[in-house]
Structure 1
Amino acid sequence: MSDVNQVEQLSVRALFNKKTEYIIPIYQRNYAWGAPEIEQLIQDISDAAGLITQPGETVSVKQVKYYLGSLVVYQRTTHSQQSNVVYETIDGQQRHTTLSILLAYLKHRKVLDESDLAGLDINLTFDSRPKSSRALDDIYKGKSSGEAEEPNIHAALNIIQRYFKTKGLDTEAKIKQFCEYLLDNVTILKVVVPPQTDLNHYFEIMNNRGEQLEKHEVLKAKFMATLSNDEGRNCFSTIWDACSNMTRYTQMGFQSDLRKEVFGDNWQTMPKSFDVIQAKHTSKQQKQDAMTLREIIDNKTPSENTDDEEREKEERFGTVIDFSNFLLHVLKLMPEIKGVSLDDKKLLNAFISKDNGLKVEAKTFVYELLKYRILFDSYIIKPDQHNEKRKWSLQTLIANTSGTSTSSSYNNSFGKDQDTLNEKLRMILAMFHVSNPALVYKRWLNDALSILNRNVTQDADLSIDGEVYLTELERLSDRYFEEITVGQCLTFSDENQGVLHQGTGVQNFVFNRLDYLLWKRLSDGETFDGKGKKELGKHFDDFQFNFRTSVEHYFPQTDPSGASKMEDVDRFGNLCLISPSSNSRLSNYSPQDKKSFYRENNRAESLKQAIMMSYDDWGPVGLGRTNLKNHESAMLKVLSAIKI
């Protein structure tokens, strides 16, 4: 047995060496990565390879090495005649499985020669899940069977295929560059634990280990080091820490007595400057320091809300972005700072100048951070953990004072008499978010925060005119769509298919924009080929934006009946956006069988899909083709808002 007390840097090429095997043990969970994690992985590698430049950023510089993380393993004892080294994976299986699927995708790209992947093989198997092992083997060998057995693995392959296509990474040159960089420059740290390790105990420790110091904590320390006195540092720390928990409304990060002092009786007032907050913070601290024990006890007033109730409220919401990325958004929105990348891997570089100083003054930045967090909390959607039917929330935290006690509630951000407006804003913000599921490079969020800052009233409560906000967000949607379709003919023809008739190459945003526009117009009573919200019924009533990342050909690319196939199967009228798992399960079903499946499950995944399913005939000839063309024409009119 080799020396197992080792830490080794492995290239991806070395990781997939045929003479090494990795086994996922029985105590590990199933493969669970979806579009956010998979797309983030490919994007990070592409950025490091210098293949993608984000809008508004300078050309990326290729990194010599990109460190992907760690793979913690245990070397199993094998039979003496077995030449391969066998490792049991303790930590890192999600990343390793995704790399295996990515390798399978690259293997079947025609632009690669056999020599590009020479000596490599899928060397990952599963102790208790033979279906997962078969699924990996199937996609690596190019087989189509087994999709129903292990949909998550096949769905991951679809996500990878679409991402490469929609991001323009599937050209011959970029595929070769990506593959070369992935295999030789992407590095993973393999950690082999000692042979006597109690694996169950080690696995428990790995999943409950303390968090490492994050970059934003290093940045906080650098900011605080520039402040000259304890009062300033303490106030800075209070604001920073309150803003850092992205799943909690910012006001709740302040102690209850200071919360009222800083944000007013209803917790909606924004102080005029950092110095105003510091004065209130220092005054409260001095009063607390001067209090006797008897005064502390006498001053303790009962609250209608228990700690458990407050904790439950705080745990209700998720977030569309993490703190490190939010810091970059705030910095990018400051007019005096230029060329900020929305890549959290570059967080410290974004804030620290070449002479090791900070590009922005501590008090100025933390005040802007607080302002944008208050705007973010009130006017940007949050995932709502307590409401499955309405997945996205657009609400403001309000204090309710009764006598000597104060409780809190969440109200619609634009008031009880503006439910329709609030719903439109909730929908369009969700449309933007699900179109870009990864945490980084949320251009829409930066643009939305800029709109809010530009239109906020001069009042201390940072109020926003909802109609103006909606109008600007819809203009933003129009601008993004124009960028995608500039110079393209939207109608389908044999001579000019255009960007909307590219099958899986059509961007998520196009489908989500269409669903928002359909939802809005159906809500206003419009119909499409006689189908309105009444005819669509539950499909309309229950519609919500979800992370649907797989394009379905309603008439399938492979016709199971053996009938004539559609030569223009990739045209926009035949496409809709659904979840990857559904696409893996239904990809080769006929339109009638797909319709039966969704009716039995009483759902449709998009409004475009629901309208497509309302036609009795769908296909390459006759009435089915007429219906397809009519549907396509109607949808393109909605998308472009012009007469085609």
Structure 2
Amino acid sequence: MKLTPSEIVNGKHFYTIPIYQRLFEWATDNVITLLDDLRGKFISSNGQDDYFIGMLTSTDNNELIDGQQRFTVMMLMGCVFQKYHNGWKEFLKANDKIRLFFTSRPLDNEYMRGLIEQMASADLNITNDKMKDAIKCIQEYMEKNVDEAKEFVTYVFNHLCFFITTLPKGYSPRDLNRYFERMNTTGRNLEQHEILKVKLLSNLAQDVDKYISLWNKLSDVDTLLIKKRENESEEQLRQRKNQAFQKKIDEILVSDIINGLGVSKDEKKETIGSVKASNERPKREQEINKDSRCALTFPYLLLHALYCFLEGDIKDSIEDFFKPSNFLDTFAKYLPYDADANEDNIKSFLNILYKARLALDICFIRPTEFGYILDMGVSEDVNGLKDLMMYQSLLYVSSSNYTNYRWFGWLIDAIEKAKNKIPDALELFRDMKSRDEELRKLPKLEDLSYGNDIRYWFWKLDFLIWQKREELFKKDSDALAVAENYVFRRNRSIEHIAPQTPETDSTMVWEGTDEDRALRDSFGNLVMISQGLNSALRNSSYEIKKAHA
């Protein structure tokens, strides 16, 4: 729901800041930046265009879970602006009820009331230093721009916009706490992708609330979009996943395919007493997806979806396109969201974003603490599933934020080739492996040497050993067990097994001949290990290094 101060007054909305939220923390620099931005939009649009301050999140009883800092600064601006426009007086207080209430903070409530009612007084019995500094900053700003003060505060009253999204009814205190903790571990008050959400979705003419709800689901990349419901069979779950791929985003908005989006009788709030006792093992899906995470963070997922939307036709270098510091500039350049915004293009991008998120959930590995899982809704014994999981693991560890677009594009292409259904595991494995091998040709033997960028070929060798493990190792041997349980890691330190200059006695000692130097730096005498292990071994003897490797 989109709101302005005037719409808050007309809608008779009141809000509460819960006790677990932090106190007002904005510095005067933040306040001045906001005022400058507002004034800039006021001047450039001749007072006609909206200015979006961001996204707020509340519970169904109007407790602000996210956005309390921005709402508080609106209250502080209102304390100053009421001098120039009576609408702000109604925004601050209606029927003696303050618009914003601080739970279990009587001093803050008293101070806010004092600011509203005694604005002319310089001395209040109670002070809040951050609020006091902000008020002074706003007063001084208005005094410098007094000629246009009335028109400016009228503009802010009618055009300072924010979207407010309401968490589903029935959110328990535990759910709220988990949501709040996750929100506060980001390290910043407002992520760039949250700013992008407001800028993009503000261009949609209809169903903005529904798109916001879906965006919020997509942004929580570590929670699966489609999870097994009560009494849903594995086959029904797989059918629902296929339906999700086949439907367009506008159909998804009005369906209950995605968990938590529509109304499903299987997702109603349960109590402890309603959970039936069972002697059966936990559901397989719950086991394999526990504590897994998405292979991409949401900002990078957005950039990869944009790259697919553009079909790779970009004017920047790959490094500049995927650089995090360029995030908003990249979107502004390739998917305009201000004056040149195109609603159809934005919807097309959102459709690709939705399909891409599904693809990562269902058709690509999800890292866990101990390795990787891949849940395509089929038995673990299905032909090609294990091969696919291992090869995707190889692609994942051997890629970076600037090269993930390769396997990501192959994955999206394969799903389109499967006519927007979950592709066959064996076919997907063969397709991704073929495209990877077409991209990376085996170098000459002399180029597979120390000092060259050969990390990929260590991982590729590991995959080939795993794939041929039953041919290479004896049945029930320790070596076969190691190969069976192999997990790809992002080890990046290349080390000589027979060291260049061993510190201790070693049966392998190199001479200074050209032949020895070539052998010493050859692929056969190299191993890729973690940086920590490399530091620990240093120039240990051949025997010690071989034992660790």
State whether structure 2 residue 453 is matched by structure 1 residue 506: yes
Take 2:404 and 2:262, find their aligned partners in 1: how far apart are those partners? 43
Give, as a single letter, the amino acid of the residue that structure 2 aligns with 1:322: T
User: Do the aligned partners of 2:254 and 2:262 also contact (CA within 8 Å) in 1?
Assistant: no
State the number of aligned residues. 341
Q: Does the C-alpha gap of structure 1 residues 583 and 532 become closer, same or farther in structure 2, counting only changes over 3 Å? A: farther
State whether structure 2 residue 393 is matched by structure 1 residue 393: no
User: Do the aligned partners of 1:451 and 1:472 also contact (CA within 8 Å) in 2?
Assistant: no
Query: Per-residue displacement from partner, 1:280-316 (whole Å, max 9, x unpaired)?
Result: 47xx99998xxxxxxx99999945699x999998761
Take 2:260 and 2:412, find their aligned partners in 1: how far apart are those partners? 35
Q: Does the C-alpha gap of structure 1 residues 555 and 312 become closer, same or farther in structure 2, counting only changes over 3 Å? A: closer
State whether structure 2 residue 501 is matched by structure 1 residue 558: yes
Could you say which residue in structure 2 is the equivalent of 1:370? Answer: 354
Query: Which residue of the other structure, out of 458, 463, 469, is the alignment partner of 1:516?
Result: 463
Query: Which residue of the other structure, out of 164, 189, 193, is the alignment partner of 1:212?
Result: 189
Q: Does the C-alpha gap of structure 1 residues 337 and 320 become closer, same or farther in structure 2, counting only changes over 3 Å? A: closer
Instruction: Look up the SS of the partner of 1:275 in the other structure.
Output: helix
Q: Does the C-alpha gap of structure 1 residues 255 and 475 become closer, same or farther in structure 2, counting only changes over 3 Å? A: closer
Q: Does the C-alpha gap of structure 1 residues 417 and 572 become closer, same or farther in structure 2, counting only changes over 3 Å? A: closer
Two-structure CA RMSD over aligned residues (Å): 4.5
Take 1:342 and 1:305, find their aligned partners in 2: how far apart are those partners? 49
How much has 1:429 moved relative to structure 2?
0.7
How much has 1:580 moved relative to structure 2?
1.2
Query: Per-residue displacement from partner, 1:134-174 (whole Å, max 9, x unpaired)?
Result: xxxxxxxxxxxxxxxxxxxxxxxxxxxxxxxxxxxxxxxxx
Query: Which residue of the other structure, out of 567, 583, 599, is the alignment partner of 2:517?
Result: 567
Give, as a single letter, the amino acid of the residue that structure 2 aligns with 1:451: D
Query: Per-residue displacement from partner, 1:302-351 (whole Å, max 9, x unpaired)?
Result: 45699x99999876112221001001111111256721723333222232
Gaps of 5+ in 1: 1-5, 8-206, 257-261, 289-295, 397-410, 493-498, 599-603, 605-644
How much has 1:214 moved relative to structure 2?
1.1
Instruction: Look up the SS of the partner of 2:216 in the other structure.
Output: helix
Give, as a single letter, the amino acid of the residue that structure 2 aligns with 1:269: Q
Query: Which residue of the other structure, out of 414, 432, 438, is the alignment partner of 2:395?
Result: 432
Which has more radius of gyration?
2
Give, as a single letter, the amino acid of the residue that structure 1 aligns with 2:362: S
Query: Per-residue displacement from partner, 1:542-588 (whole Å, max 9, x unpaired)?
Result: 32111111111111111334844332221112112111111111231
Q: Does the C-alpha gap of structure 1 residues 347 and 445 become closer, same or farther in structure 2, counting only changes over 3 Å? A: farther
Instruction: Look up the SS of the partner of 2:326 in the other structure.
Output: helix
User: Do the aligned partners of 1:235 and 1:277 also contact (CA within 8 Å) in 2?
Assistant: no
Q: Does the C-alpha gap of structure 1 residues 349 and 337 become closer, same or farther in structure 2, counting only changes over 3 Å? A: farther
User: Do the aligned partners of 2:491 and 2:529 also contact (CA within 8 Å) in 1?
Assistant: yes
Take 1:214 and 1:356, find their aligned partners in 2: how far apart are those partners? 23
Give, as a single letter, the amino acid of the residue that structure 1 aligns with 2:340: G
Could you say which residue in structure 1 is the equivalent of 2:243? Answer: 269
Instruction: Look up the SS of the partner of 1:546 in the other structure.
Output: coil
Residues 529-544 of structure 1 aligned to structure 2 (within 5 Å): 534=477, 536-544=479-487
Query: Which residue of the other structure, out of 327, 332, 336, is the alignment partner of 1:347?
Result: 327
Residues 480-491 of structure 1 aligned to structure 2 (within 5 Å): 480-482=439-441, 485=443, 490-491=444-445
Q: Does the C-alpha gap of structure 1 residues 537 and 272 become closer, same or farther in structure 2, counting only changes over 3 Å? A: closer
Query: Per-residue displacement from partner, 1:582-638 (whole Å, max 9, x unpaired)?
Result: 11112312222223x43xxxxx5xxxxxxxxxxxxxxxxxxxxxxxxxxxxxxxxxx
Q: Does the C-alpha gap of structure 1 residues 518 and 336 become closer, same or farther in structure 2, counting only changes over 3 Å? A: closer
Give, as a single letter, the amino acid of the residue that structure 2 aligns with 1:371: K
Could you say which residue in structure 1 is the equivalent of 2:418? Answer: 456
Give, as a single letter, the amino acid of the residue that structure 2 aligns with 1:452: A
Take 1:591 and 1:304, find their aligned partners in 2: how far apart are those partners? 60
How much has 1:416 moved relative to structure 2?
4.1
How much has 1:427 moved relative to structure 2?
0.7
Query: Per-residue displacement from partner, 1:228-258 (whole Å, max 9, x unpaired)?
Result: 13xx111211211111111111235x999xx
Give, as a single letter, the amino acid of the residue that structure 2 aligns with 1:344: P
How much has 1:358 moved relative to structure 2?
3.8
Gaps of 5+ in 2: 1-26, 29-183, 231-235
Q: Does the C-alpha gap of structure 1 residues 449 and 285 become closer, same or farther in structure 2, counting only changes over 3 Å? A: closer
Instruction: Look up the SS of the partner of 1:423 in the other structure.
Output: helix
Q: Does the C-alpha gap of structure 1 residues 312 and 297 become closer, same or farther in structure 2, counting only changes over 3 Å? A: closer
Could you say which residue in structure 2 is the equivalent of 1:24? Answer: none
Query: Which residue of the other structure, out of 444, 457, 465, is the alignment partner of 2:424?
Result: 465
Give the number of the structure with larger relative contact order, counting CA–CA contacts within 8 Å between residues 6 or more apart. Answer: 1
Query: Per-residue displacement from partner, 1:433-453 (whole Å, max 9, x unpaired)?
Result: 1113x4444133323323333
Instruction: Look up the SS of the partner of 2:359 in the other structure.
Output: helix
How much has 1:464 moved relative to structure 2?
0.2
Query: Which residue of the other structure, out of 528, 531, 540, is the alignment partner of 1:580?
Result: 531
User: Do the aligned partners of 1:559 and 1:590 also contact (CA within 8 Å) in 2?
Assistant: yes
Residues 214-253 of structure 1 aligned to structure 2 (within 5 Å): 214-229=191-206, 232-251=207-226
Q: Does the C-alpha gap of structure 1 residues 466 and 311 become closer, same or farther in structure 2, counting only changes over 3 Å? A: closer
User: Do the aligned partners of 1:247 and 1:319 also contact (CA within 8 Å) in 2?
Assistant: yes
Take 1:210 and 1:337, find their aligned partners in 2: how far apart are those partners? 31
